[in-house]
Amino acid sequence: MRVRLLTGLFVALAGLSTLAESASANNLLFEEILSGGAPRGRVQNSYGTYFGGSSPIARTTVNFASNEAPGTIVINTAERRLYYVLGNGQALRYGIGVGRVGFTWGGVTRVVAKKEWPAWTPPPQMLRRRPDLPRHMKGGPENPLGARAMYLGSSLFRIHGSNEPETIGSAVSSGCFRLTNDDVIDLYGRVRVGTKVVVLR
């Protein structure tokens, strides 16, 4: 009887310890969210869960010599980097995925629209190449445009999110520029409609 009571007490104490650890972890997560968003590598989606992953190319502030005004986006396709100009010789640098061979482009454009959890309708030319694609896909964790999208000029190109962090730093798209969902949410909060975007090959 004494052995049985001791065993029961041990199990109960172990259970309380697990609950305490779980509560502590949840409190830490809540504090992290309140202090500036989801922890890096986990993005809270509209369904209340976390998904995605950290970029293999860390977002960082770098020295950046440029005549562009603060708030300008400069995309260097060859480097596979996006720079958000801060001014005073500095920029915030993000790793990006760029267009495949034959799908790269350059020029100056502007952000004409911003959308959270954008829907995706593949254009006809893409459907001709990939007839297996859906004709329309609502916004959400499985959508290839990710958590945020910024639409560029009158083109079909966008700066958008992705839940495939392993593609960052690669030439994988049909001309759009992708960031991790974590990074695109950060950039989206800085960018305004009308922002100048310079795309370098």
Task: Tell me, yes or no, whether 12 lies in a domain.
Answer: yes
- Report yes or no: 96 and 81 within 8 Å, Cβ to Cβ: yes
Report the domain count for the chain.
2
My answer on whether 88 and 183 are in the same domain is yes
My answer on whether 22 and 101 are in the same domain is no
Measured between alpha carbons, how far is 39 from 145 in angstroms, rounded to an integer?
21
pTM: 0.72
**81, 148, 158, 160: the active-site residue:** 160
Q: Residue type for 171, please?
A: A
* pLDDT for residue 34 is more than 50: no
Q: Is 42 left (phi over 0), alpha (psi -120 to 50) or beta?
A: beta
Q: Residue type for 116, please?
A: E
My answer on whether 19 and 87 are in the same domain is no
Residue 176 annotated as catalytic: yes
Confidence band of 188 (pLDDT split at 50, 70, 90): very high
My answer on whether 68 and 111 are in the same domain is yes
Residue 131 annotated as catalytic: no
| 111-124 pLDDT tens trace | 999 999 999 887 78
**176, 179, 187, 199: the active-site residue:** 176
- Angle at alpha carbon of residue 195, lines to 155 and 172, rounded to 5°: 50
Task: Tell me, yes or no, whether 55 lies in a domain.
Answer: no
Q: Quote the DSSP letter at residue 97.
A: B
Task: Tell me, yes or no, whether 53 lies in a domain.
Answer: no
My answer on whether 76 and 133 are in the same domain is yes
> pLDDT value at position 57?
92
Residue-number span of the structural domain to which 26 is assigned: 2-36
HEC assignment per residue over 9-65: HHHHHHHHHHHHHHHHHHHHHHHHHHCCCCCCCCEECCCCCEECCCCCCCCEEEECC
Task: Tell me, yes or no, whether 49 lies in a domain.
Answer: no
Task: Tell me, yes or no, whether 43 lies in a domain.
Answer: no
